[in-house]
C-alpha cells in the first residue's frame, strides 16, 4: 500500500514538473505584417505670432522651446500682478501675513487704484476692511489696481517697501532683467521686465503656490455688488488653459501670460506687446499648441530611488545609494527621445560620512552631445562612519586601491 502511495506521489510530482516546464516555454514571436517605412516627421519652426516679444516655455524643465526677443526689456503692465501674487503668497507661506487678515483700504489704494482712475479696479470702498484672500481674487481675476496697492501696503507697510520685496524675490528666482517699482504695473520710469523673466516667474508661481495659482482659472468674481470677468479669453476657448494673467497699457500694448496642461505636459506662453486683446490670445494659443504638437515630455528617472550604489569606504555600510531628489523629466522634439544619453559623474573614492540629501555627484543628460539637464546626485540615506576597526581596515585597503593616500573627511 505504501509502495502504491509513493508511486502515485512520484507521478504527481512528475506531472507538476512537466506542467511547469510547459508553462515556462516561450511561444514563437509573431512576425509583423510588412508595412511601408514612414519617414521621421520634421519639426517646423514656431509660428510667427503677433507680439513685440514672446516666449514658449516647457513647465516641467523650464526649457525655452521657442522665443522672439525674450530678453527685451518692456513695460509689463498688469502682468506685474503675477509678481505681486507671488510675493503675497510667499509671505503667507512664511507666516508673515494670513489669508484671513482684514486689510485696510487706504486712501492711497482707493485714490490711486480705485473707481476714480482709468485703470482696472475692484471697486474697493475707502477705509473698508477686506479679507486678504478676497483681495487676491480681486488682484488676479479683476486685475484690481486698488487690490494690488492694498495688498502691498498690508504685506510690507508701504508700496515702496513691497517693491523691494518684489525685486528681492525676483532675484531669488533668477529674473535677471526685471525691476519693479510698484505692485500694480502702473507705468512709471524704471519699471520693466522681459518675456523670459515673466515665464520664469509664472513657472515658479505654478510650482510653489498651486492653490493660489488656481485662482487665475476662475472666470469671474463679484465684489461690492459688481461682477467682473477674467480678461483671459483663453479660459473660454480651451478647457486645458488654467491661467495666468493679462495686461494692457497704451505703452505696453496687449500682454498675456498663459498656461495650459495636456496629460503630463504643461506649456507656458508669454506674449508682450501684441496689438489687441484677440491677437494676444491667438498668439499665446498658437504657441502652446505648437509646443504640445511637436514636443513631448518623458520621465527618465524616479525621485528618491537608487540609480547607483558605488563603493563606500570607512562607512557602516560598504555601499552608498545615490539618486535624485525629484523625478527627472525632459522635454524634447518628438522623435528625439532615443537620442538622449545619460551619464553620472561621481568621485572615484567615496569616504563616509554622508548625510541624506547631500550632493555627491551629477547626473548629466545630453542630446546629440548638447547638454539638456544637469541634476544633482544625492545620498538617499545617511551613511555614518564605521567603528574604529572598520575605518582602520578600509584605510589599509585603500592603500592597495590607489597610488597615493586619498584625502579623508575629518
Active site residues: 78, 81, 143
- Cell digits for 273? 506687446
Burial 8-44 (b: 16+ CB within 10 A, else e): eeeeeeeeeeeeeeeeeeeeeeeeeeeeeeeeeeeee
Distance of alpha carbon 363 from alpha carbon 361, whole angstroms: 7
* Phi-psi label, residue 168: left if phi above 0, alpha if psi -120 to 50, beta otherwise: alpha
Q: Calculate the CA dihedral of residues 155, 84, 160, 103 and round it to 10 degrees.
A: -30
Structural contact between residues 239 and 217, judged by C-beta atoms closer than 8 angstroms: no
23-32 own/partner pairs: CB under 8 Å, 24+ apart: none
Other CB atoms within 10 A of residue 166 CB? 25
Contact residues for 135 (Cβ-Cβ < 8 A; gap 6+): 103, 122, 124, 144, 147, 150, 151
Closest Cα partner for 92 from 48, 154, 37, 43?
A: 154
Distance of alpha carbon 287 from alpha carbon 267, whole angstroms: 9
- Cell digits for 115? 473707481
Q: Calculate the CA dihedral of residues 197, 198, 200, 205 and round it to 10 degrees.
A: 150
Quote the DSSP letter at residue 48.
Answer: -
Distance of alpha carbon 75 from alpha carbon 94, whole angstroms: 30
Amino acid at each position: 500500500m505504501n509502495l502504491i502511495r509513493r508511486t502515485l506521489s512520484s507521478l504527481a510530482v512528475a506531472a507538476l514538473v512537466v506542467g511547469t516546464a510547459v508553462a515556462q516555454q516561450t511561444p514563437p514571436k509573431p512576425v509583423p505584417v510588412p508595412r511601408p517605412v514612414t519617414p521621421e516627421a520634421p519639426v517646423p519652426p514656431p509660428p510667427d505670432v503677433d507680439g513685440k516679444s514672446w516666449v514658449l516655455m516647457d513647465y516641467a524643465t523650464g526649457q525655452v522651446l521657442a522665443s522672439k526677443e525674450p530678453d527685451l526689456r518692456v513695460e509689463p503692465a498688469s502682468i506685474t500682478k503675477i509678481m505681486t501674487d507671488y510675493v503675497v503668497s510667499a509671505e503667507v507661506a512664511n507666516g508673515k501675513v494670513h489669508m484671513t487678515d482684514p486689510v485696510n483700504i487706504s486712501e492711497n489704494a482707493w485714490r490711486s487704484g480705485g473707481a476714480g482712475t482709468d485703470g482696472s479696479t475692484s471697486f474697493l470702498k475707502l477705509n473698508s476692511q477686506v479679507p486678504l484672500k478676497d483681495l487676491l481674487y480681486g488682484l488676479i481675476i479683476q486685475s484690481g489696481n486698488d487690490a494690488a496697492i492694498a495688498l502691498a501696503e498690508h504685506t510690507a507697510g508701504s508700496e515702496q517697501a513691497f517693491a523691494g520685496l518684489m525685486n528681492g524675490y525676483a532675484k531669488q528666482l533668477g529674473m535677471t532683467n526685471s525691476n519693479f517699482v510698484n505692485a500694480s504695473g502702473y507705468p512709471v520710469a524704471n519699471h520693466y521686465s522681459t518675456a523670459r523673466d515673466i515665464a520664469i516667474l509664472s513657472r515658479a508661481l505654478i510650482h510653489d503656490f498651486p492653490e493660489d495659482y488656481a485662482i487665475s482659472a476662475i472666470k469671474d468674481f463679484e465684489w461690492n455688488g459688481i461682477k467682473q470677468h477674467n480678461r483671459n479669453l483663453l479660459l473660454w476657448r480651451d478647457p486645458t488653459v488654467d491661467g495666468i494673467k493679462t495686461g494692457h497699457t497704451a505703452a505696453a500694448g496687449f500682454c498675456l501670460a498663459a498656461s495650459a496642461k495636456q496629460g503630463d505636459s504643461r506649456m507656458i506662453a508669454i506674449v508682450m506687446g501684441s496689438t489687441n486683446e484677440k491677437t494676444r490670445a491667438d498668439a499665446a494659443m498658437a504657441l502652446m499648441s505648437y509646443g504640445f504638437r511637436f514636443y513631448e515630455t518623458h520621465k527618465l528617472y524616479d525621485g528618491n530611488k537608487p540609480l547607483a550604489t558605488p563603493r563606500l569606504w570607512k562607512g557602516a555600510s560598504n555601499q552608498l545609494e545615490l539618486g535624485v531628489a525629484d523625478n527627472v523629466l525632459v522635454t524634447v522634439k518628438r522623435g528625439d527621445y532615443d537620442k538622449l544619453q545619460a551619464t553620472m559623474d561621481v568621485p572615484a573614492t567615496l569616504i563616509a560620512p554622508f548625510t541624506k540629501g547631500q550632493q555627491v555627484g551629477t547626473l548629466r543628460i545630453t542630446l546629440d552631445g548638447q547638454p539638456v539637464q544637469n541634476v544633482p546626485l544625492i545620498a538617499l540615506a545617511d551613511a555614518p562612519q564605521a567603528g574604529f576597526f572598520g575605518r582602520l581596515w578600509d584605510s589599509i585597503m585603500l592603500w592597495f586601491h590607489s597610488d597615493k593616500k586619498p584625502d579623508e573627511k575629518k
